[in-house]
């Protein structure tokens, strides 16, 4: 199939209505392209899903919304306004952290308030260390936003060129070859603070003991603002799907794609599980990179990508439940820490086991910024990190029960009683995540960022097969809701750029078709 002459006539299929697929669909539909989104699940959102528990609906995926500007820009590019589509309220308490009944520390949106809290919790020297740490995190973020996060396919060389001399010296200041854990030791003597800020590595599904120190930029991202989404995070996916539809995109749910087809060396369409064929000049695959590399979408797609070399990122055991919670003042976001952080990551990455001493995150979804919630049962997401082995083995009932015991025992030791009822609890294991996101083993963030060069290991949107583009948390710039949205934006921009250049070269009767390189 030849590529179309007029970019506006191009038919684009987006495989997957995850946040990246939705972002790409919005932008391409807004430019007038003929967009069809094919999603195997019954609703949009992918990992940003809602889990029905009895009559309640609980956010079972992301709960921390950051980098609002990514969505402001996205909506604006499509001629719409984020505020008119999604209700967002900034929080003043970023998260509460607990190590025991009496050891609690809140982090605030206001750096001064956090420094004061850290001073009371661990002393004045730690508060000073925190302020220095925030300044470094800010510099790193500033250095990387343009040449890395917004760039199509950065390399160490392009990054160095883009960062400039000042940026390079800032980067050098955080020892890019050091691990996050080691670098945090320069700011914090208190092991609990090192643990708290080391946990930011898990936002990319990685171990703080192996992740590069540059991940301290996550601290700045949170500091720059965390918002609550009215009605839950899933609303954001619904809003994006609604906007794409308003711009003319078609959505088909329950439509799993079996194969991406190619003809004459370029994409020609897709085949659904039902056998139906849909022709397209371009395809954006929002499925995990592993699904393509593993051949789940056919030989043409498999040959178009490299199999990722790095190890898989974290999976999770998540309990979505409606229960009474008492004895501990839960904030909207609360993290309960184990005493031996290293053991947790040794279990997960080293031994391929559920952690015997887990760190547990609780999102109390009915609580407001002040921590006020309902008198009766409330909606909770409880999350424990786990190894991504869902495609290799199911954990036994005994392993699962022991992980559950260890997780809820930790909450109890910190004073929190959760009155669980089996009929009001939905557990998702790495096997469950593997079924939802095939070929990942349940890894929720693509490949782990272990080692200084790992950030450059993710592919960009372009592939070896002309007309096929990648978008999602497993490709550049990486996982997390705003980053995945950014990847969708980058994929849409590359696709449009290639269509434009093909149309131009046709007009000037130059030889050569659309190239994705
Ligand atoms: C429990 C949990 C907590 C998280 N917490 C946070 C957080 O607090 N903050 C944050 O920013 N991020 C968080 N994340 C990460 C964030 O949710 C993801 O990085 C992001 O949503 C991934 O988006 P994506 O575009 O890669 O698409 P995905 O969400 O991976 O969606 C891909 C879509 O493609 C569909 N698909 C795949 N194959 C096919 C096929 N063959 N045919 C049709 N459809 C197909 C899938 O069904 C899915 O809907 C969390 C994730 C999880 C699971």
pLDDT tens digits, one per residue of 474-508: 999 999 999 999 999 999 999 999 888 877 666 56
> How far apart are the CA of 56 and the centre of ligand 1, in A?
21
Residue 279: strand pairing partners: 269
Of ligand 1's listed atoms, the one at least distance from the Cα of 433 is 53
- Contact of 364 with 228, CB cutoff 8 Å: no
Confidence of residue 154 (pLDDT cuts 50, 70, 90): confident
Q: Across all residues in the chain, what is the average pLDDT?
A: 92
Cβ of residue 294 lying under 6 Å from some atom of ligand 1: no
How is residue 316 written in tokens?
């999770």
- The residue nearest atom 38 of ligand 1, judged by CA position, is 287
In ligand 1, the atom with minimum distance to the C-alpha of 428 is 1
- Bridge partners for 251 per DSSP: 37
Q: Round to whole Å and give the CA distance between 471 and 495.
A: 11
Q: 213 CB under 6 A from ligand 1? A: no
Distance 446 CA to ligand 1 centre (A): 10
Give nearest CA residue, ligand 1 atom 4: 62
Nearest residue to 339 via CA among 413, 404, 416, 401: 413
Residue with tokens 């605030």: 108
pLDDT bin (cut points 50, 70, 90) of residue 173 is low
Ligand 1 center to 289 CA (angstroms): 12
| Any ligand 1 atom below 6 A from CB of 10 | no
| Arithmetic mean of pLDDT, 84-110 | 97
Torsion-angle region of 177 (φ positive above 0: left; ψ -120 to 50: alpha; else: beta): alpha
Ligand 1 binding pocket includes 20 (Cβ within 6 Å): yes
Whole-number Å distance between alpha carbons of 423 and 467:
47
Is ligand 1 within 6 A of the CB of residue 63? yes
Written in H, E and C, the secondary structure of 82-133 is HHHHCCEEECCEEEEEECCCCCEEEEECCHHHHHHHHHHHHCHHHHHHHHHH
Q: Is the Cβ atom of 133 under 6 angstroms away from ligand 1?
A: no
Which of the residue ranges 41-55, 172-186, 344-358, 479-493 would you say has the lowest mean pLDDT?
172-186
Q: Which two tokens stand for residue 323?
A: 């229960």
Confidence of residue 165 (pLDDT cuts 50, 70, 90): low
In whole angstroms, give the CA distance from residue 253 to residue 249. 13
257 C-beta closer than 6 A to ligand 1: yes
Of all protein residues, the one whose alpha carbon is nearest to atom 22 of ligand 1 is: 473
Is the CB of residue 162 less than 8 Å from the CB of residue 145? no
Give me the pLDDT at residue 168, please.
66
Whether residue 214 has its Cβ less than 6 Å from ligand 1: no
* Report field, pTM of the whole predicted structure over 0.85: yes
Distance CA 321, CA 344 (A): 24
Q: Ligand 1 center to residue 61 CA distance, Å?
A: 8
Q: Which residues of 387-412 are buried (b: 16+ CB within 10 A; e: fewer)?
A: bbbbbeeebeeeebeebbebbbebbe
- pLDDT score for 74: 97
**What's the maximum distance between 2 C-alpha atoms anywhere in the chain?**
75
Strand-pair category, 56-59 with 50-53: antiparallel
Whether 47 lines ligand 1, by a CB cut-off of 6 Å, is yes
Nearest to 469 by CA among 439, 444, 492, 500: 492
Task: Verify whether ligand 1 is closer than 6 Å to residue 40 (CB atom).
Answer: yes
Could you tell which of 14, 62, 471 is best to mutate to test the pocket of ligand 1, judged by most ligand atoms within 8 Å of the CB? 62
Instruction: Dump pLDDT digits (tens) for 117-142.
Output: 999 999 999 999 999 999 999 988 88
Q: Taking 60 as the threshold, does the pLDDT of residue 391 lie above it?
A: yes
Whether the Cβ atoms of residue 264 and residue 103 lie closer than 8 Å to each other? no
């Amino acid at each position: 199939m030849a590529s179309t002459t007029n970019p506006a006539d191009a038919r684009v299929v987006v495989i997957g209505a995850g946040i990246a697929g939705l972002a790409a669909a919005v932008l391409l539909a807004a430019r007038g392209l003929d967009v069809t989104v094919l999603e195997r699940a019954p609703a949009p959102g992918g990992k940003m899903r809602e889990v029905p528990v009895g009559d309640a609906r609980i956010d079972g995926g992301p709960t921390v919304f950051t980098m609002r500007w990514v969505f402001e820009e996205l909506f604006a590019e499509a001629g719409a306004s984020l505020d008119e589509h999604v209700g967002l309220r900034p929080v003043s308490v970023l998260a509460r952290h607990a190590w025991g009944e009496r050891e609690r520390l809140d982090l605030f949106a206001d750096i001064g308030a956090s420094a004061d809290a850290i001073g009371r919790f661990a002393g004045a020297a730690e508060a000073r260390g925190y302020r220095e740490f925030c300044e470094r995190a800010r510099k790193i973020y500033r250095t990387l936003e343009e040449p890395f996060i917004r760039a199509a396919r950065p390399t160490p060389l392009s990054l160095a060129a883009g960062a400039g001399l000042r940026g390079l010296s800032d980067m050098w200041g955080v020892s890019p070859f050091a691990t996050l854990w080691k670098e945090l030791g320069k700011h914090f003597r208190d092991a609990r603070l090192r643990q708290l800020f080391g946990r930011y590595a898990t936002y990319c599904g990685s171990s703080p003991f192996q992740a590069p120190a540059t991940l301290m930029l996550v601290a700045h991202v949170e500091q720059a603002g965390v918002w609550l989404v009215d009605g839950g995070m899933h609303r954001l996916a619904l809003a994006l799907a609604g906007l794409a539809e308003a711009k003319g995109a078609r959505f088909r749910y329950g439509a799993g794609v079996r194969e991406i087809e190619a003809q004459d060396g370029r994409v020609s369409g897709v085949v659904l599980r039902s056998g139906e064929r849909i022709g397209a000049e371009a395809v954006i695959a929002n499925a995990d990179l592993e699904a393509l590399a593993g051949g789940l979408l056919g030989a043409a797609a498999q040959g178009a990508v490299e199999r990722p070399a790095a190890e898989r990122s974290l999976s999770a055991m998540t309990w979505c439940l409606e229960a009474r919670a008492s004895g501990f003042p839960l904030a909207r976001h609360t993290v309960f820490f184990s005493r031996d952080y290293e053991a947790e990551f040794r279990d997960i990455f080293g031994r391929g086991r559920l952690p015997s001493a887990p760190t547990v995150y609780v999102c109390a979804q009915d609580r407001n910024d002040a921590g006020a919630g309902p008198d009766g049962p409330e909606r909770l997401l409880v999350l424990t990190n786990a190894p991504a082995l869902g495609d290799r083995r199911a954990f036994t009932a005994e392993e699962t029960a022991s992980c559950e015991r260890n997780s809820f025992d930790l909450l109890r030791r910190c004073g929190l009683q959760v009155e669980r009822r089996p009929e009001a609890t939905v557990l998702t294991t790495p096997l469950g995540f593997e079924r939802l996101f095939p070929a990942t083993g349940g890894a929720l963030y693509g490949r782990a960022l272990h080692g200084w060069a790992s950030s450059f290991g993710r592919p960009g949107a372009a592939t070896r097969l002309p007309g096929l583009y990648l978008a999602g948390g497993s490709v550049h710039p990486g996982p997390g809701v705003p980053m995945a949205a950014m990847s969708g934006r980058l994929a849409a921009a590359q696709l449009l750029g290639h269509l434009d250049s093909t149309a131009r070269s046709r007009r000037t009767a130059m030889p050569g078709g659309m190239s994705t390189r």
